[in-house]
Structure 1
Amino acid sequence: MKEFKEIRKDILVTQNLSIGYKQGKKDRLCLLSDINLTIKRGEMVCLLGPNGAGKSTLMRTIAGIQTPLSGSTLVEGIPICDRNFKEIAQLLSIVLTERIDVGNLTVYHIVSLGRHPYTSWMGRLSEDDKEKIKWALEQVGLLHYADNFINQLSDGERQRVMIAKALAQDTPLIMLDEPTAHLDLPNRVDIMRLLHRLARETNKAILLSTHELDLALQAADIIWLMARSEPIKIGAPEDLVLNGSIEETFRNKSFNFDRKTGNFIMNYQKKQSIQVLGNDVMGFWTQRALSREGYQVTCEKVGDCSVKLIEDSMEWEVIQNGSTTSCVSIQELLAHLRKNSSLD
């Protein structure tokens, strides 16, 4: 029981925090007030919200880069606002969005910079420092790249280097600003999986801001959901989906959030209904294609055109005006419907 309590210990706490900007000596622009947030040890928290909601301001304020209008931020019970740079660097580490452009430095050298808050003014690494660097490189799977120059690595590998640097810094809280911004889909998935694993295995608290809603819904333990001038909604990803918070926050005329799939679906102008007989995976992708084409898909009989899915043979039968046409791909199905459609 003692171990469980230690694992669930609050690492980050904000108390009645107000964020915004001071304008002159007396005026101020308050974006959000009375913010009370916590992150526990071993938790991965994703900060989500539309542009302009104040995510970057909140991240900077928590990190001590920007002064709060009021309230406080504590990491392991220690207030951030009255600490010097070295003390803050031993409480939290930050991975920024910007790409790394230091081609003359090796992976090992960059990760070793994470030990700077603990070294003397000469920057000499102790044996303990070297062990921490080696451990950090092992955690991100880059130990065999330690002597490589950073410009020899892919974007995904470079981001892993910066995560290793944060690990080597050995802080209870790691903060990341859009860590997947410059990455392709496989690397975005890998980085989110890596961060989730590190939170569990290193027992650190990880906070990241991201626009990767679909990945955050799968990887985050807790989501902080921000919207302009509204209190932050907090909860497990599934709870925020089920109670409609995700849908409400990202509401837009151009798309809808589908609670069943956790995806955003574009809104197309529907000009005609069409019956589709069949479901499962083949039916899902058929419906997506037909929606893009301008059809309102239904399982009820409407009009003079129906599409029947023959799942065993991956065929589509178009039944129209008493005749049946077989198609062997969705591309062929759409071409046939365009040729014989009454859509404008």
Structure 2
Amino acid sequence: MFLEIKNTTIGYQKPLISEVNASLDFGDICLLIGNNGVGKTTLIKSILNQISLINGEILINKKQNNQLSNKEIAEQIAVVFSKSQIPANYTTEDLISLGKFIHLPYYYQLEKEDTQEVNHIISQLKLDEYKNTLLQKLSDGNLQKAFIGRALAQNSPMIILDEPTTHLDEDNKIIILKLLRDLAKKHNKIILFSSHDWRLAKEFADKIWFVNNGILQEGLAEDILLDNDLLTNPRLFIINENFVSPEINAPFLEKEMLYSALQKNFKKDLSGIKINFQDKFWEVNYLHFTDKCHTLEEILKIIKKHLQ
């Protein structure tokens, strides 16, 4: 195993995640998932030896990470944090090229093949038109892609990305995730990325590290999803504690959307109303009335009319 975490407790003065046992090897794509504040970034920094372990050990390529220099860790693991310092007067090309100097002296002149690889990464990330643009002038999304490009140019066996898709729209999110999966499967890299979006697991991740209640669960993505209903059945916010829902018979998503609309618009007890969804029609039943409609907005109008 390239990365091994053995009986490890991580945190600062107090433990955030206890008794962690997990590992990743070449070709693995792992989603690190959990709510804000549970310790995802702290775990990443612990792997990189930026934070000391409370106990246990972490091995990178069979060597304890606290015995490796920063340069040695950087040669093994490329990192993209969600918040990175922007180098002054650097263009997109400059930043991505910087990844090459992890393995070279700062005064070294890039070879032709290095420059070609940088240009290839720029094209893969669809940043060609921003190649010579100063980083300060890039949008948040393109800046994020440029930092990911630097990690790709580093050509390390493992890449860790902390919330890499935060500033990306759906199209660019897919571009990045497909590129990362291609790296793992065709070039035998290890990818560990954190996110709040569990949907990414089903399409892009082989494994999940799920941090919940101070414990890290690890395993095949589908196994972890099946074992944790809160991942596959997220609930919308409850903003009206006095709201009493009608009886709703509908598929999960439609039911959640209707519930959301009703609790924002009614403080009354709606338990006497029955609402059914079938064949793209909504049917609202109240007392002796039955109304059919197509949209949630129409349902709100029907209920308001009957409750006047």
TM-score past 0.5 threshold: yes
2:66 aligns to what SS in structure 1?
coil
Q: Which residue of 1 aligns with 2:25?
A: 40
1:77 aligns with 2:77: no
1:180 aligns to what SS in structure 2?
coil
Residue number among 179, 185, 188 corresponding to 2:164 in the alignment: 179
- What do the CA deviations read for 1:190-234 (whole angstroms, capped 9, x no partner)? 44444334322332101122222333454321111123443x111
CA distance, structure 1, for counterparts of residue 222 and residue 244 of structure 2: 34
Q: Which residue of 2 aligns with 1:288?
A: 257
Residue identity matched to 1:224: W
2:10 aligns to what SS in structure 1?
strand
Residue number among 223, 235, 247 corresponding to 1:274 in the alignment: 247
2:193 aligns to what SS in structure 1?
strand
- What do the CA deviations read for 1:43-69 (whole angstroms, capped 9, x no partner)? 211212233322222111101212323
Q: Which residue of 2 aligns with 1:157?
A: 142
CA distance, structure 1, for counterparts of residue 106 and residue 86 of structure 2: 25
- Considering Cα pairs closer than 8 Å and 6+ residues apart, tell me whether 1 or 2 has the greater RCO: 2
Aligned-pair distance for 1:274?
Answer: 3.4
Mark the runs of 5 or more structure 2 residues left unpaired by the alignment: 265-270
1:233 aligns with 2:217: yes
Mark the runs of 5 or more structure 1 residues left unpaired by the alignment: 1-9, 22-27, 248-256, 296-301
CA distance, structure 2, for counterparts of residue 32 and residue 331 of structure 1: 45
2:37 aligns to what SS in structure 1?
coil
Q: Which residue of 1 aligns with 2:5?
A: 14
Residue identity matched to 2:217: K
Report the structure number with the largest CA radius of gyration: 1
1:120 aligns with 2:111: no
Aligned-pair distance for 1:167?
Answer: 1.1
Aligned-pair distance for 1:149?
Answer: 2.9
CA distance, structure 2, for counterparts of residue 284 and residue 223 of structure 1: 24
Cα pair distance change 1:82/1:334, threshold 3 Å: same
Give the superposed CA RMSD: 3.2
CA contact (8 A) 1:54 1:228 kept: no
CA contact (8 A) 2:144 2:167 kept: no
Residue identity matched to 2:199: D
Residue identity matched to 1:223: I
CA distance, structure 1, for counterparts of residue 41 and residue 5 of structure 2: 16
Which is further off, 79-88 or 194-203? 194-203
Q: Which residue of 2 aligns with 1:110?
A: 95
Residue number among 275, 279, 302 corresponding to 1:336 in the alignment: 302
TM-score (norm 2): 0.81
Aligned residues: 300
CA contact (8 A) 1:214 1:263 kept: no
CA distance, structure 1, for counterparts of residue 78 and residue 62 of structure 2: 16
Residue identity matched to 1:274: E
Q: Which residue of 1 aligns with 2:235?
A: 264
1:179-198 alignment runs, 5 A limit: 179-198=164-183
CA distance, structure 2, for counterparts of residue 337 and residue 123 of structure 1: 72
